[in-house]
Amino acid sequence: MATRAFDPTALERYKQFLGDLLAELENDIIPSLSEGDLKKAPAFGTAPGAAENAAAEYADFHATTWRNLQYLRGTLHGMMSGLQAAIDNGGIVDQQVATDMNRLAQGDDLYA
């Protein structure tokens, strides 16, 4: 059976990777939806009903995409915070986290 060792350097590298993803999200992707080219719906042509139907679908797409990007942003912040907490406490986790991790590793659904 292989043993696992706590490697704060590996966590720091992963945290940096997540930070780079977060920076791209916050500096490139989100601005294109909030103030860039994707802020406004494109012209959808002159066919009868095209503008009304496509505009509504684009508005729904935009809202869903915006919401999902904000969820992703929050998730990345949370993961980075969790990694920093693990680095700060030397990889020691509380008993509930250890139990949940064991259950997940065995294929259990935590929410069942």
pLDDT at 112: 56
Mean pLDDT to the nearest integer, 46-67: 82
- Indicate the range of 29-33, 60-64, 77-81, 92-96 predicted with least confidence: 92-96
Q: Where are the domains of the chain?
A: 8-38+52-87
Distance (Å, whole) CA 98 – CA 3: 16
pTM metric for this prediction: 0.71
Query: Tens digits of per-residue pLDDT, 82-93?
Result: 889 888 888 776
Does 46 have pLDDT greater than 80?
A: no
